[in-house]
Structure 1
Amino acid sequence: MKPEPITAAPADAAARKAIKPVVCYPVETLPRPDLSAYRALRDSLELVETVIVPPREAETWLVPAGHFCRILCSEGPQVGDLNLFNAHDLKERLYTGKTRALNGTHVGLGDQLFSNFPYLRPIATITHDTLDWYGFDEFGGAVHDVIGTRCDPYTHNLLSHGGQYHHCCHSNLTRALAKKTGMAPREAESHVHDVLNVFMCTGFTRDTEQYFMKASPVRPGDYLEIFAEIDLLGCMSACPGGDCSAEHSSDTAACHPMVVEILRAKGLPEGWAPPPVNGYDGTHGL
């Protein structure tokens, strides 16, 4: 719990609190994808690869630019922690902070996932989401957040006063990326980044402002579908918290495998081209 304030409120405190907020990033000029052009291809999709992500483990896969990728709930409710990289340059990767600033705390149909500086471009577009009916619930919870970082062994160690646990999503992602690239674990770990929490239902409590999770509403057969704007390397952990209804970093939660499907369309979206890297000149005023 946060301590009570020790500073006396000024006489005009109410007036200061009543000032209306200003949106940090007006997005009216942000280029938006023509979702109809992507969705026009969905009837022609051909399955080219299936990847199984085992419970409490992680797997990697490649998605060529112009292909679709579906993350499916297969056997039971399960949350996945997703990392995305430029398949040819791991320095370019999903930037959840800017994705959140431009789209909101939770992403869904029509939203784009942006990469980090200095690239800052859309690397994937969400083209279908069978949980788009959920919206925000009475607690302020919603699905597919870009606010959580991932469960990790360092925070576990801190909160458990020395505990060692190796199936946190951070460690799962590290092992999978190390296996894919041949990197040593410490090197691979440096590339693991804040995640898109696929199917996870989260928000912030209104009284204590704490990040919360609740049972995911995902059902077998539900999926989140993205279109690869560039060649992508995906890496996802099937969270050891299962549906995250009680805890994560757990050996006791019911966990299930997740399925990833890579699909190829018979063509490309009308007018589509891979997005160029950001046009800022990089001089920073010098």
Structure 2
Amino acid sequence: MLDLEPTAADRLRDRKPIPTPVPAYLPTAQSPLTVDTALYSSIQQAPRVLVEEFTLPIRSGRAWKADAGSIVRISTPEGPQVGDLNIWNAHNPRERFWASRTRQLHATHVSTYDRLWSCLPYMRPLVTIISDSLAWYGEDEHGGRVHDLLGTRCDPYINTVLSGGEYDFHCHSNLTRAVLPFGLAESDVHDVINIFQVTGLDAKGRYFMNPCPAKSGDQIEFLAEQDVLMGLSTCPGGDLSLWGFGADSEKEMIKCCRPLKVEVFRLADGDLLERAGWRPAEASKYRGKHGMVVVEGEPGRKE
């Protein structure tokens, strides 16, 4: 008889049960992944002074700076609206938000006491979420969650690939215009956190988006763990209750677009953080040798 290769059905039937996997990165005592919830709750509730505020119109972008220890609130003043957020070190744009590592360290969707981490070689928190009025959302019937790290910003390049048309007010373009006054360029725009956006993966692992659940006045707040530059786009998809590519879709989606509000605060008690033992985040202490030894001259030669 022929020795036939097992079919996919055979392999599936013979597959042994796999124990429930343990998360790869678990917060432990004294770990940078472990936030002192009592401290950060007290910071969130402490009296504060408004430093800056503005309302970002639909389909636009703006960037602003926030000092270490300040609080940044982004809210939905008129109802549901998705925002695409970029973050950099205010003094060094090479240090910027790293969405995929943050996703590994915390989750695909983040909320209160999760941190948004910077890229190599710095590898430190840029901000920590200290308040999230949509934390109640949890997981919906489709497996969707809010504040998305699975996807990235919409951009005009993929729009042209998929629709053949051109549109200049995707989130990538809005962020590109937003950072120009700070000396940054399109190449500095990077993967985002999609705040107020509900996303997930279906049974086949395909990315989906559900409508934004925010109501008027919903908000998310961040504590700046270092001096940061933040850039925000009011997504041209609005609350994502309508979605598509091309001119016709863009005309329809404007019906569900609303502004976002940004407020930057400093703590009224300027010494509160220092007394509590809080310090700006420090960069990774790895020396960056990567196993290499660089010599000044010819090895073994003596003068």
TM-score, scaled relative to structure 2: 0.85
Unaligned runs of 5+ in 2: 1-5, 293-303
Distance between the aligned counterparts of 2:9 and 2:208, measured in 1? 32
Name the amino acid aligned to 2:59. Answer: R
Name the amino acid aligned to 1:181. Answer: F
1:135 partnered with 2:131 = no
Q: Please state whether the residue corresponding to 1:190 is helix, strand or coil.
A: helix
Distance between the aligned counterparts of 1:213 and 1:145, measured in 2? 10
Q: Please state whether the residue corresponding to 1:40 is helix, strand or coil.
A: helix
1:60 partnered with 2:63 = yes
Aligned to 2:120: 117
Name the amino acid aligned to 1:201. Answer: V
Unaligned runs of 5+ in 1: 1-6
Aligned to 1:241: 237
- C-alpha displacement of 1:44: 0.5
Aligned to 1:4: none
1:277 alignment partner, one of 259, 273, 283: 283
Q: Please state whether the residue corresponding to 1:252 is helix, strand or coil.
A: helix
- C-alpha displacement of 1:76: 2.1
Kept in 2: contact 1:70–1:261 (CA 8 A): yes
Pair 143,47 (structure 1): closer, same or farther in 2 beyond 3 Å: same
Distance between the aligned counterparts of 2:19 and 2:145, measured in 1? 25
Name the amino acid aligned to 2:162. Answer: L
1:195 partnered with 2:192 = yes
TM-score, scaled relative to structure 1: 0.90
Aligned to 2:19: 20
Aligned to 2:8: 9
Aligned to 1:33: 35
Kept in 2: contact 1:58–1:238 (CA 8 A): yes
For residues 105-151 of structure 1, the C-alpha deviation after alignment (integer angstroms, 9 at most, x for no partner) is 00001101100011111111000000011001110011101111110
1:72 partnered with 2:68 = no
Higher helix share: 2
Runs in 1 of length 4+ with deviation above 6 angstroms?
Answer: none
1:205 partnered with 2:194 = no
Distance between the aligned counterparts of 1:121 and 1:23, measured in 2? 24
- C-alpha displacement of 1:46: 1.3
For residues 190-237 of structure 1, the C-alpha deviation after alignment (integer angstroms, 9 at most, x for no partner) is 11111010100111112x321111111101111000000000101000
Distance between the aligned counterparts of 1:262 and 1:37, measured in 2? 20
Pair 279,174 (structure 1): closer, same or farther in 2 beyond 3 Å: same
Pair 177,122 (structure 1): closer, same or farther in 2 beyond 3 Å: same
- C-alpha displacement of 1:89: 0.4
Largest Rg, 1 or 2: 2
- C-alpha displacement of 1:101: 0.3
1:107-186 alignment, distance < 5 Å? 107-160=110-163, 162-178=164-180, 180-183=181-184
Kept in 2: contact 1:77–1:242 (CA 8 A): yes
- C-alpha displacement of 1:284: 1.4
Identical aligned residues as a percent: 45
Kept in 1: contact 2:79–2:217 (CA 8 A): no
For residues 26-65 of structure 1, the C-alpha deviation after alignment (integer angstroms, 9 at most, x for no partner) is 3234321212212213231111110221100001111100
Moved more, 274-283 or 35-44: 35-44
Q: Please state whether the residue corresponding to 2:84 is helix, strand or coil.
A: strand
Aligned to 1:231: 227
Kept in 2: contact 1:114–1:123 (CA 8 A): yes
For residues 69-104 of structure 1, the C-alpha deviation after alignment (integer angstroms, 9 at most, x for no partner) is 000101121110000010000000110000000111
Kindly report the root-mean-square deviation, in angstroms, between the aligned alpha carbons of the 2 structures: 1.8
Pair 48,174 (structure 1): closer, same or farther in 2 beyond 3 Å: same
For residues 231-253 of structure 1, the C-alpha deviation after alignment (integer angstroms, 9 at most, x for no partner) is 01010000001101121662332
Kept in 1: contact 2:242–2:252 (CA 8 A): no
Distance between the aligned counterparts of 1:146 and 1:132, measured in 2? 15
- C-alpha displacement of 1:17: 6.5
Kept in 2: contact 1:214–1:246 (CA 8 A): no
